[in-house]
Structure 1
Amino acid sequence: MGQWDDKFERAARQWESFRLPEYAQSDRVLGRIIEDKAREHPYREVFQFRDHAITYEQLNQQINRVANGFLALGIKPGDKVALMLPNCPQFLTSWFGLNRIGAVSVPINVALKGNGLAYQIDQADCVALVASDSYLPALDAIAEQLLKLRHTVMVAAGQPVVLSAWPGVQSLDFEALADRAETAPAIVVDFRDLATISYTSGTTGQSKGVMISHHYWYEIWAQAVKYSQYTDDDVLYTGLPFFHTSAHGTTGPAILTGAKAVLVERFSASRMMDDCRTWECTSAKYIGGILSILMKQEPRPEDADNPLRLMVGAAAPKHLWHAFEQRFNTRLLELYGMTECNSCLVNPMHDRRAGSCGKAISGYDVKLVDECDNEVAVGQVGELVVRPQRMYLGTSGYYKNPEASLELFQNLWIHTGDLATRDADEYFYYVDRKKQALRRRGENISSFEVEAVLNAHPAVLESCVVGVPSELGEDDVKAVIVLKDEHSITEVELIRWCESRIAYFAIPRYIAVRQHLPKTPSERVEKYLLRNEGVTPDCWDREAAGLVIAR
């Protein structure tokens, strides 16, 4: 292990001497924090995109140019702008540029297609869209549904840039948008102002837009620094997508501490550890599937010789926990949370328990309740409910969805819809989803939305979508189909039907065609029966068939 033998001890000493900069409540505004860092450390590198490094001063200047570009388009404080971009510098400068003028960023999952894509852009009242021109085919298909959109700003995937050509919508190149003055706009943003609308996966119905204020973002960043014990000596790594809040557990803490973040386009099992060695990364983000995939890689003599002292994330398979730490000479820090209550449970750094998603140490009260909201006893299964201990911590609700907001905050506690148990030492252990949701390779999938696409096929009478255990951890998608009388369809035809209508990661791996679905007397499908039976002999397997789907 050589030079990395003492990495844990050195990190502990650095944390003991580090003092996290404190910002007054009124200064907990994203643009204000970045401006402060640019004054304090203008030439320090904050982000690394492959071979391209960005200093705090350069970041601040680029944000100002983009912010002034948005103002020139007529974007005002409170306006909503969708961001449909891969991991790239333009995502961050657009996000922070919008927030600098009091506008609201709406990150969009780049795999979305069809009505699901149109719904999020329209429901958020987006007046502008910043997108990679590689996503134009999916956007062109739903352009007529985007009646509130006035501008598109296209980021070139190649050269030259391809602009949208939608009637009544102005389109321009991102480079033209950002060709503005570096002077900070004279707009005062309040810490309580809305900064981001982040859409859920739509676990039991239509996706909901989680409202995130400037102050809530600050809390997410500051708490991540504390439970991960980040300092200005850290180099943080992520390949998780920017349109998910989990990726900003890397970008935000780097800004707040004066550290550096190494950001790559996407996770690569063959490249990740080499990346971390190249840039001397001390921490990396994971989801459960990432750990399984890394463990399936052929062992290499240098596996343990890496600078990573910590990997932070969720859904680490218990059976891999100790083997992973030993093989890669690092430590896993497990979290639990939702966009609505980010990282409400954390495994304490120096008292971690394999298999636990943590304790309530980051500003939230957490308990388990039964269906009547009565707290359950130690060891019993209950729904996780969460309550912030401080003002402006957590979401203020769902955008333009008061009914769902009231349901979320039932009895003044955030109801997560997830089931867990708790031991006598207040460690929580995740059990299952109460909601009808699946999780595959880090992506939350709505069974409701997948079923809607399947049921729209002329040959399908009804369907049920459940998750079955994947060999890589988390779920694979299984669909049970009932066909209409005198109709037939092949599994390949069903997959191709889904391919243009839902995200690739939501397309079923397994398909079983049956005569009927199991139902209760009230005609509700008994999904648990289909989930519990797993992969049955009548399941056609897309991967075994060698069918490749487009992304």
Structure 2
Amino acid sequence: MTTKSVYSRFVETAERRGEAPFLHVLEETAGIYGISAGDISYAEMRRRVEDWRKRFADAGYGAGHRIGLLLQNRPVFIEIWLALNALGASVVPINPDLRLAELEYLAEHSEMILAIVLPERQAEMKAAVANAGLPVPVLTPDSPLSPALTPVLQDYVPDTATECALLYTSGTTGRPKGCILSNEYYLHSGDWYAQTGGHISLRRDCERMLTPLPVFHMNAMAVSVPAMITLGGCMIMLDRFHPRSWWESVRKSGATIVHYLGVMPSMLMGMEPSPDDINHNVRFGFGAGVDKKLHAVFEERYGFPLIEAWACTESGSGGVICAYEEPRKVGTSCFGRPCDNVAVRIIDDAGNDVDFGMPGELLVRRAGDNPRYGFFSGYLKNQQATDEIWQGGWLHTGDIVLQDQDGSLHFVDRKKNVIRRSGENIAAVEVESILNRHPEIKISAAVAAPDEVRGDEVAVFLILDGVKGDAAKAEEIVSWALDQMAYYKVPGWIAFTDELPLTSTQKILRGQLKDLMTATFKVSGFIDTRHLKGRRV
């Protein structure tokens, strides 16, 4: 296809598909969200999009504007996104688990001029923009639109280079970075999924893709939705992953494809076996991070392959690598071989290419004359970080992999100082910066603790200022933290200490911190606060 924007591609498909279903809302999801269940056709979605488009245009919104959206996986998110995309405006998807301090940063850094949020989050978002000193209106989807604060770019015609969305991803050295994602990024992703074939062959006008993954992340917003728009399929978006009702959702939705993260197969394998385990229409699952010990037994039990892939927000589908053809090497953390239009290098710490079978950092780029085709456009307000990740003309992923003689890539570990809990990337530095605001915490140090179910859990060492550290104080700190940051970033393990491994300039020695964590667990020196973690409304 030669379309210039996500909106124009949607319009092309909507004209062809008409009353065919574009979205399907399950009764379970409808009950949780308080919305109507059932199909939303392409024609109906187009009517909704055009209504929003007119309202935004009349209020002065368009090219050069960013609008924050805290709307979960509701259909209205897609309605507003496509309408703003039609006008050349960008959206800033907001993780609903973010709390006050995080929302303040996001609003200020993104320079959003409007936020549209759920009614129950309106007061908190208003407090966040007020704390940041911003005159940003905070509305609900049912509110009349406030006039735009700034004029649109004059005589601007949206094209493939136009910013479509600003997605935030956890950094390793501080605050989350805003990844600028263009129309090209989204359109190529839809094309990649539609054209790749093999085990992930998508059929035109008949696929039903179920995802529990959030549209404020790259997988659902930039892979699932563009794929279904490109091929005229139907999206089924859950509010989140519910292990106990998962297979009922799969069956009732008629899903032919499901998307997953590594924690999901682990949880599903813990369910009681049933003759209905193979009673579904799923042809394949697409995702990453399945436990290699469970990969083969999951496929045997449930009757469909889990197709492992690698990508990140920065690479998009421009640098995706996927085990879409044999040999998939199930049970070896293999995520496939790079196709002809993706170039890779595996390097050591000195920047030298490593031999086959040796671990090293994965570098990727697009093969050919345009090495950044389909990748992100850069980090907002951070050219230095953009240049660093593209050092030498290659995207430095921070992931440690090894490559077989036949080119198969196997995931080993993460070079980045990131805690990965249930698919969420958590920057240790961000957790520390928020905890250090607590009046009784002198210094904090966060580290990834192994967790059998969630991959990692957040463990922190705390040096307190003049107060006693005990179980009651740990619970008090966690309660405070739950109001300041997303619940999954909150410490699940807390250890109080009098000293930490620091450099001469008082920076945390991360390697020694991991050793300290291991030693502390051995002597039961951590206080378990995992039971206190949970989503807040």
Query: TM-score, normalising length from structure 2?
Result: 0.88
Q: Retained in 2: the 8 A contact 1:100–1:187? A: no
Task: Give the distance between the partners of 1:530 and 1:319, measured in 2 at CA.
Answer: 29
Match of 1:278 in 2: 252
Query: TM-score, normalising length from structure 1?
Result: 0.86
Mapping of residues 216-235 of structure 1, within 5 Å? 216-227=185-196, 228-232=200-204, 233-235=206-208
Segment of structure 1 superposing worse, 141-150 or 379-388: 141-150
Q: Structure 1 residues 101, 443: CA separation in 2 closer, same or farther (over 3 Å shift)?
A: same
Partner AA of 1:35 in structure 2: V
The Cα shift of 1:219 comes to 0.9
Is 1:121 the counterpart of 2:107 in the alignment? yes
Match of 1:135 in 2: 121
The match for 1:480 among 439, 461, 466 is 461
The Cα shift of 1:376 comes to 1.5
Partner AA of 1:303 in structure 2: D
RMSD value over aligned CA atoms? 2.2
Partner AA of 1:351 in structure 2: P
- Alignment partner of 2:202: what SS? coil
Q: Structure 1 residues 279, 486: CA separation in 2 closer, same or farther (over 3 Å shift)?
A: closer
Is 1:54 the counterpart of 2:27 in the alignment? no
Aligned length: 501
The match for 1:365 among 333, 340, 343 is 343
Mapping of residues 463-474 of structure 1, within 5 Å? 463-474=444-455
User: Unaligned 5+ residue runs, structure 2?
Assistant: 27-36, 148-154
- Alignment partner of 2:275: what SS? coil
Match of 2:303 in 1: 329
- Alignment partner of 2:140: what SS? strand
Task: Give the distance between the partners of 1:139 and 1:206, measured in 2 at CA.
Answer: 19
Task: Give the distance between the partners of 2:462 and 2:136, measured in 1 at CA.
Answer: 41
After the TM superposition, which parts of structure 1 deviate over 6 Å for at least 4 consecutive aligned residues?
A: none
Task: Give the distance between the partners of 1:541 and 1:266, measured in 2 at CA.
Answer: 25
Task: Give the distance between the partners of 1:384 and 1:126, measured in 2 at CA.
Answer: 34
- Alignment partner of 1:139: what SS? helix
Task: Give the distance between the partners of 2:160 and 2:303, measured in 1 at CA.
Answer: 40
Segment of structure 1 superposing worse, 349-358 or 42-51: 349-358
Match of 1:43 in 2: 19
Match of 2:262 in 1: 288
Match of 2:163 in 1: 194
Is 1:418 the counterpart of 2:399 in the alignment? yes
Q: Structure 1 residues 264, 359: CA separation in 2 closer, same or farther (over 3 Å shift)?
A: same
The Cα shift of 1:530 comes to 3.8
The Cα shift of 1:92 comes to 0.3
The Cα shift of 1:342 comes to 2.1
Mapping of residues 440-459 of structure 1, within 5 Å? 440-459=421-440
Q: Structure 1 residues 197, 434: CA separation in 2 closer, same or farther (over 3 Å shift)?
A: same
The match for 2:481 among 494, 498, 503 is 498
Q: Retained in 1: the 8 A contact 2:185–2:316? A: no
The match for 2:51 among 44, 61, 65 is 65
The Cα shift of 1:524 comes to 4.0
Q: In the TM superposition, what whole-angstrom CA distance separates every residue of 1:96-149 from its partner, at most 9, and x where no partner exists?
A: 111000001111111111232111222111111111112124313313145454
Q: Structure 1 residues 276, 187: CA separation in 2 closer, same or farther (over 3 Å shift)?
A: farther
Task: Give the distance between the partners of 2:173 and 2:335, measured in 1 at CA.
Answer: 23
The match for 1:539 among 517, 526, 533 is 526
Is 1:346 the counterpart of 2:322 in the alignment? yes
Match of 2:216 in 1: 243
Match of 2:355 in 1: 377
Q: Structure 1 residues 457, 280: CA separation in 2 closer, same or farther (over 3 Å shift)?
A: same
Task: Give the distance between the partners of 2:412 and 2:484, measured in 1 at CA.
Answer: 31
Match of 1:435 in 2: 416
Q: Structure 1 residues 78, 487: CA separation in 2 closer, same or farther (over 3 Å shift)?
A: same
The Cα shift of 1:196 comes to 0.9
Q: In the TM superposition, what whole-angstrom CA distance separates every residue of 1:233-281 from its partner, at most 9, and x where no partner exists?
A: 2211011111111113222211111111112211111112111111221
The Cα shift of 1:187 comes to 7.8
The Cα shift of 1:173 comes to 4.8
Is 1:512 the counterpart of 2:495 in the alignment? yes
Is 1:403 the counterpart of 2:381 in the alignment? no
User: Unaligned 5+ residue runs, structure 1?
Assistant: 1-22, 157-171, 178-185
Match of 1:112 in 2: 98
Task: Give the distance between the partners of 2:132 and 2:42, measured in 1 at CA.
Answer: 36
Q: Retained in 2: the 8 A contact 1:204–1:437? A: no
Partner AA of 1:504 in structure 2: Y
Partner AA of 2:191 in structure 1: A
Q: Retained in 1: the 8 A contact 2:97–2:535? A: no
Q: Structure 1 residues 89, 416: CA separation in 2 closer, same or farther (over 3 Å shift)?
A: same
Q: Retained in 2: the 8 A contact 1:306–1:329? A: no
Q: Structure 1 residues 304, 433: CA separation in 2 closer, same or farther (over 3 Å shift)?
A: same
Partner AA of 1:409 in structure 2: W
The Cα shift of 1:30 comes to 0.9
Task: Give the distance between the partners of 1:235 and 1:488, measured in 2 at CA.
Answer: 52
Match of 2:32 in 1: none
The Cα shift of 1:523 comes to 4.7
Q: In the TM superposition, what whole-angstrom CA distance separates every residue of 1:41-96 from its partner, at most 9, and x where no partner exists?
A: 11111111222211111122211111111112211212111111111011001111
Q: In the TM superposition, what whole-angstrom CA distance separates every residue of 1:348-406 from its partner, at most 9, and x where no partner exists?
A: 33331221122212742121112332212212221111112364321121112111111
Task: Give the distance between the partners of 1:394 and 1:201, measured in 2 at CA.
Answer: 17
Match of 2:138 in 1: 152
- Alignment partner of 1:481: what SS? strand
- Alignment partner of 1:338: what SS? coil
Match of 1:159 in 2: none
The Cα shift of 1:525 comes to 2.7
Q: In the TM superposition, what whole-angstrom CA distance separates every residue of 1:304-345 from its partner, at most 9, and x where no partner exists?
A: 222111110111110110111111111011011111102522
Match of 1:211 in 2: 180
Partner AA of 2:203 in structure 1: T
